[in-house]
Amino acid sequence: MKNFEKMLRHLFLCAIKIKTGIYTVVISLLKELFCNLLMIQIMENRKRKVKWFCKFGNLKVQ
């Protein structure tokens, strides 16, 4: 019975690791996409002189 519990716990931890891994990848991709969209927006709206700081790419766009 204890082995079964250990196996379940192991599977549960693996599932959590896989989930967090997927979330990390998705979030980083979304951040990159968001940064690119912001940069495009800023390039188009240069007259406004908007400053954005994008943490993901460490890019300062003026």
Degrees, nearest 5: CA angle 19-20-25: 100
| pLDDT on residue 44 | 72
- The model carries a pTM of 0.43
| pLDDT on residue 61 | 45
| pLDDT on residue 16 | 80
Give the Cα separation of 47 and 27 in Å (integer): 31
Where are the alpha helices (H) located in the chain, listed in sequence order? Answer: 2-44
Per-block mean pLDDT, blocks of 10 residues, the chain (62 long): 85 83 85 81 62 48 42
CA 35 to chain centre: 11
Give the Cα separation of 7 and 3 in Å (integer): 6
| pLDDT on residue 50 | 47
CA 58 to chain centre: 14
